[in-house]
Amino acid sequence: MKAAVAQRAAVGAVATALLAGLAGCSFPGDRSAQEGAPGAKKAPLPKAAPQLIGDGSTAYTGAQPNQLKPRKLKAGQKPPQFVVFSWDGAGEDSQKLFSHFRSVARKYDMTMTYFLSGVYLLPEEKASLYLPPKHSAGRSDIGFNDVQGIRDTVRELRAAWQEGNEVGTHFNGHFCGPEGGDSWSVEDWKSEIGQAKAFVKNWRTNAGLTDEKPLPFDYDKELIGARTPCLEGRKNFVKAAGELGFRYDTSGINDQIWPEKEAGVWDLGLQMVPFPGRGFETLSMDYNFMVNQSGTVKGDPAQHDYWGRQMRDGLVQAFDRAYDGNRAPLIIGNHFESWNGGTYMRAVEDTIATVCVKKDVKCVSFKQLVDWLDAQDPKVLAKLRTLKVGEAPAAGWPAFQGGAPAGPAGDPAGSAAEPPHRAVPPAGDGAEQDGPAAAAAAAPVVRPEAER
């Protein structure tokens, strides 16, 4: 990644940024035991061999393990509280944060979504294979990888998927600004998506790692969602995504309310969340907390612990108001980075330890969330969307979901007093930083900058 690629220290660089119900893996032709005489001891058959795809960089190995079985809400049932932790530009480098958070996910019986940058599977000597929209061949604002970095990243991707995690895409060269996503056409986005898939489907050939095991999934079928670099270009990307069969996008900026579809694609954008001690909210991403706290990746070391607690507390407050309120899914974005001494990585881990152990909470991937959403009655989801941020049904969930009679003064049952308006940052105190989605003009959201 630029000059740092030799040390592989920036593979996870900044992107400009389960509990019960797990099902096991099944492979074609599997049986639980060999047939034999009555009473004979039965031994399991070996799993079916992977069905290699293309040059063997990927393979079909059966249904993905550790997936929720979506169940439709029953009448009067309170929705589960979903929380999605996701990572932009996922790759394994010298920080070993990918492997670390895989272990965290296992510890808390949860899954996550890893948005892979395609160029992290393309060695620098093959850079010319990348033809980015609006840029010359071989150009990338995050550089490329080296062979060892590719080997390490593939190892983590392979294990992550087998553990039930999702592999999405963060596209390729991470271009932002005048020639970034906002300037790209629908066809540009389709080209970028096609190339992101190609780098995943041909990493063994491109990196000369022909003896390495394949990734255990068909990426053409597995890839169903993305987050755009810098959260830019969403309008045309969503059009392209809908035409290509994607099921969700998480590049938007939303409040903590129940999601809906746009052009057939679930809008699961990042959310505005509390920023403890400040008069405004910020985006649910480590980068945005960092920008509002230090404005640099190397701020005052004396403030690191405080900044980490501030992020953790903000995310937990966002969780609490959903958990005790409308039960809208909480969407959290992160990067494998050690900004400000790694304080944000500790904040994420502390948040996981706090929220993912609670009753009725499911910390899942985006894929698992959209599986659940698609299994619900659209009328039920539409009613859930009438609940405001932090608003619980006044007459309780059974009445809300069951269609209770009108409340006092003709107000519909289930309505509640509007939550207090969230403050807009005063001039001189974050006016150029994050602000609530409803006041975006007064307090524009800081979008993640280009990666190093």
CATH number at residue 267: 3.20.20.370
Q: Measured at the alpha carbon of residue 355, what is the angle toward residues 262 and 285, in degrees to the nearest 5?
A: 50
Question: Around 273, how many Cα atoms within 13 Å sit in the side-chain half-sphere?
Answer: 28
Q: Where are the beta strands (DSSP E) in 75-213?
A: 81-88, 113-116, 166-169
With respect to residue 411, please indicate whether it lies within any of the assigned structural domains: no
* Residue found under tokens 């995050």: 142
Walking along the chain (452 residues) 10 residues at a time, the average pLDDT comes out as 36 31 28 33 58 97 95 95 98 97 98 98 98 97 97 98 98 96 98 98 98 98 97 98 98 98 97 97 98 97 98 98 98 97 98 98 98 97 98 96 50 32 30 31 43 36
Whether residue 125 lies inside any domain: the answer is yes
Specify the DSSP element, H or E, that contains 225.
strand 225-226
Q: Is residue 108 part of a domain?
A: yes
Question: What pLDDT shows up at residue 447?
Answer: 52
> Side-chain half-sphere of 2: how many Cα atoms within 13 Å?
10
| H-assigned helices in 30-119 | 97-107
440 C-beta neighbours (distance < 10 Å), count = 14
Is there a domain that residue 404 lies in? no
Residue 388 lies in a domain: yes
176 DSSP β-pair partners? none
Q: Is 386 helix (H, G, I), strand (E, B) or coil?
A: coil
CB 87 within 8 A of CB 366: no
Q: Which domain holds residue 307?
A: 2-17+83-392+421-439
CB 143 within 8 A of CB 102: no
Handedness of CA 382, 386, 390, 393 (dihedral sign): negative
Size (the chain), residues: 452
The 3-state DSSP class for residue 312 equals helix
Burial (CB < 10 A; 0-12, 13-18, 19+), residue 284, is buried
Written as six digits, the tokens of 352 are 């996981």
Q: Which two tokens stand for residue 264?
A: 């057939």
Q: First vs last Cα of the chain: how many Å apart?
A: 8
Answer whether residue 434 is part of any domain. Answer: yes
Residue 23, CA distances (Å) to 18, 67, 74, 405 in order: 10, 5, 21, 40
What six digits make up the tokens of 147? 């062979």
pLDDT for the residue numbered 48? 66
Dist. CA 202–CA 424, nearest whole Å: 48
Give this prediction's pTM.
0.81
In a domain, 34, yes or no: no
Whole-number Å distance between alpha carbons of 342 and 299: 11
Calpha distance 348→147 (Å, rounded): 30
Residue 50 pLDDT: 87
Q: Which residues contact 440 (CB under 8 A, 6 or more apart)?
A: 253
Residue 182 · residue 134 · CB < 8 Å: no
Residue 364, number of CB atoms within 10 A of its CB: 30
d(CA 379, CA 444): 33
- What are the C-alpha distances in Å from 214 to residues 54, 58, 61, 208? 10, 5, 10, 13
Domain assignment present for 70 = no
The amino acid at residue 363 is C
Q: How many domains does the chain have?
A: 1
